[in-house]
Chains A and B, each alone.
Chain A
């Protein structure tokens, strides 16, 4: 009953006109980011964090969450109409979604995708409501050694699953941790890796690094492409037939289960969820023979799964303070910049904010359906904006975003530097995801390690003497050693530019 009351209070806060506008703006910007091939959800969310710094914490996080799941919707539009995924999680939708477009069923594909995303996102948010209290209370029992071990598991998963080479993933992870250590040491107060520069005493700005590594490097790696002709479906063709609805329903149910389950596991990205959902359709659908030829199940399943994943991935963040994917890590950075620490204490110290954000997830999912289905023509028209104008405007927002973090030109230079680093990492095929995760988790990880060792007076066996941390450490080691056991990796992860 307590949970229901708190959720209702959350709705009261989320339904104020200011917060509704923030949710609406977030959905709008998220859809645009998703539609634009080039700027992924990680850079998109990071790019807009500085604009929300002056807002109140509730409005700011509501808007950033809406941007986050809005990108999942937006990516579908280009997948279906252009055979070009706006973001990695929608890549698998291109197969049947675009085939449906060629058959003159683009409208039905987009509507099914939007409804599936709504269903997946809403059910996953209900899961968050149900899990928030019990997991949050469980999280309060977690001490520094367990917290450290939990982060080891999260990072191990991402390192093990990211890219083709674990060696490169470990380099990326170590690099992120090192960048996070620049500045004043949190315990002893000693400056580390500042090279005598006062500006680095506060550390390297997280947002500038992310915008540079993910956003600028993406622009720097652009190649000349052919111009595309987009034909948006008419409003009348948007409604699927009764048969298509009946065929989609079981796929949506399967997609919800797969997306929700994978969203809880750190390291699993939305693209894994949509890929596995497609696999499930190939195995369990009554019309599996039609998959790949424009079957509606090939759109309904993956699209439901990636939105269920996006919303379920917020559960470990809200309850344990562990970001499950790179975009969630960026979102966690936004929480920290607003003075909110995600994790069990979020529900004790900022209960009203936490519940308002959860309530806004329901509202945002509904707003996205209302925005996406009727306005599909508007979204596709964005793709008709000439590339030089789009690139120039994206660069403009990057500069404003980097500058406004500290109102300092220094951060613009930091962004440029990390843009070049990102370009080099892409060229060397070093995955970027472990870096962004360790960049956020680095300070928390170091603090929990040092607190643990202070409690044990320097005895490292503290991690092995406590049952929860022992189990988690063993799990982390097993995950890191999994390539030696020749465990198979899902192929989509290897192809995911974000992983």
Chain B
């Protein structure tokens, strides 16, 4: 597709996509927040530029570009970007958050084993043997490879019983 063809495709009366407007609003709000916060940090001191000067400039860029983007969208709305698979996003993000939350409590091996089993067996619909072997290699195998092979300490469980059995 040429640049010319993308420019001539948008219909005259089309409205900007809601997600684009939300993006414009978010960046505009962030720019405004940075502008206000930077003033509080101090733009100029007796020694020269203050800690707020550079962020102030960036906040100004962000806010003004958001306004320009909005004007561009109102004039010629861009085609909405491709939507992500909501189910996949939810599954990956929630499982990652749970993994991170449990990492110090259950230890790397157990929490990573559960995480991998979820992705391989439940989401990926792999066979039991393949899922178990991969999950064990990724959790117990990775733990020992990193701890003893690379001297990189991965977390162990803070629960005494689990800790005692090496998890």
Name A182's closest neighbour in chain B (CB-CB): B55
B12 at the interface (CB under 8 A from A): no
Name B20's closest neighbour in chain A (CB-CB): A428
Cross-chain contact A171 with B69 (CB below 8 angstroms): yes
Convert B119-130 into 0s and 1s, putting 1 for each residue whose CB lies closer than 8 angstroms to a CB of A: 110011110001
B110 at the interface (CB under 8 A from A): no
Cross-chain contact B27 with A171 (CB below 8 angstroms): yes
A residues 397-435 in Cβ contact with B at 8 Å = 399-400, 403-404, 407, 409, 412-413, 416, 419-420, 423-424, 426-430
Tally A residues with Cβ within 8 Å of B.
66
Residues of A within 8 A of B97 (CB): 413, 416
B34 at the interface (CB under 8 A from A): yes
Residues of A within 8 A of B93 (CB): 220, 416, 419-420
Name B100's closest neighbour in chain A (CB-CB): A412
B residues 132-157 in Cβ contact with A at 8 Å = 134, 138, 142, 146, 150-155
Name A446's closest neighbour in chain B (CB-CB): B54
Cross-chain contact A175 with B62 (CB below 8 angstroms): yes
Residues of A within 8 A of B58 (CB): 174, 177-178, 181
Cross-chain contact A177 with B54 (CB below 8 angstroms): yes
Residues of A within 8 A of B69 (CB): 165, 167-168, 171
B residues 38-79 in Cβ contact with A at 8 Å = 41-42, 44-45, 47-55, 58-59, 61-62, 65-66, 68-69, 72, 78
Cross-chain contact B120 with A396 (CB below 8 angstroms): no
Give the contacting residue for B83; candidates A168, A404, A427; CB below 8 A. A427
CB distance from B80 to the nearest CB of A (A): 8
Name B95's closest neighbour in chain A (CB-CB): A395
Q: By DSSP majority rule, is chain B's interface helix, strand, loop, or mixed? A: helix
Cross-chain contact B66 with A392 (CB below 8 angstroms): no
Residues of B within 8 A of A129 (CB): none
Give the contacting residue for B49; candidates A395, A423, A458; CB below 8 A. A458
B165 at the interface (CB under 8 A from A): no
A412 to B115, CA, bound (A): 14
A494 at the interface (CB under 8 A from B): yes
Given known pairs A168-B69, A171-B65, A428-B23, the reply for A388 and B124 (CB within 8 Å) is yes
A399 to B103, CA, bound (A): 10
Cross-chain contact B51 with A409 (CB below 8 angstroms): no
Convert B77-105 into 0s and 1s, putting 1 for each residue whose CB lies closer than 8 angstroms to a CB of A: 01001111100110011001101110110
Given known pairs A399-B99, A419-B93, the reply for A185 and B51 (CB within 8 Å) is yes
CB distance from B47 to the nearest CB of A (A): 7
Residues of B within 8 A of A416 (CB): 93, 96-97, 100
A residues 168-223 in Cβ contact with B at 8 Å = 168, 170-171, 173-175, 177-178, 181, 185, 187-188, 190, 192-193, 216, 219-223
A51 at the interface (CB under 8 A from B): yes
Cross-chain contact B23 with A424 (CB below 8 angstroms): yes
CB distance from A227 to the nearest CB of B (A): 14
B3 at the interface (CB under 8 A from A): yes
Cross-chain contact B3 with A494 (CB below 8 angstroms): yes
Residues of B within 8 A of A192 (CB): 41, 51-52, 55
Cross-chain contact A51 with B150 (CB below 8 angstroms): yes
Cross-chain contact A221 with B84 (CB below 8 angstroms): yes
A residues 437-478 in Cβ contact with B at 8 Å = 445-446, 449-450, 453-454, 457-458
Name A389's closest neighbour in chain B (CB-CB): B134
B167 at the interface (CB under 8 A from A): no
A283 at the interface (CB under 8 A from B): no
Residues of A within 8 A of B126 (CB): 386, 388-389
Give the contacting residue for A181; candidates B2, B54, B83, B124; CB below 8 A. B54
Give the contacting residue for A403; candidates B20, B66, B103, B125; CB below 8 A. B103
Residues of A within 8 A of B83 (CB): 427
A416 to B92, CA, bound (A): 10
CB distance from B36 to the nearest CB of A (A): 12
Residues of B within 8 A of A185 (CB): 41, 51
Residues of B within 8 A of A494 (CB): 3
Q: Which of A177, A392, A429 has the most CB of B within 10 A?
A: A392
Residues of A within 8 A of B96 (CB): 216, 395, 399, 412, 416
A453 to B49, CA, bound (A): 7
CB distance from B111 to the nearest CB of A (A): 9
Residues of B within 8 A of A428 (CB): 19-20, 23, 81
Residues of B within 8 A of A391 (CB): 119, 124
Cross-chain contact A426 with B81 (CB below 8 angstroms): yes
Cross-chain contact B103 with A412 (CB below 8 angstroms): yes
A–B Cβ pairs within 8 angstroms, 18 of them: A171-B65, A177-B58, A178-B30, A187-B51, A188-B50, A190-B51, A192-B41, A193-B34, A219-B92, A389-B120, A395-B115, A400-B152, A403-B154, A416-B96, A420-B93, A449-B54, A458-B48, A491-B3
A residues apposed to B, CB below 8 Å: 50-51, 54, 164-165, 167-168, 170-171, 173-175, 177-178, 181, 185, 187-188, 190, 192-193, 216, 219-224, 386-389, 391-393, 395-396, 399-400, 403-404, 407, 409, 412-413, 416, 419-420, 423-424, 426-430, 445-446, 449-450, 453-454, 457-458, 489, 491, 494
- 6 extra A-B contacts, CB within 8 A, seeds A395-B115, A424-B23, A457-B48: A392-B124, A396-B116, A407-B153, A407-B155, A413-B97, A428-B19
Q: Which 9 A-B pairs have the closest CB atoms?
A: A388-B124, A185-B51, A412-B100, A427-B81, A392-B119, A454-B48, A174-B61, A428-B23, A174-B62
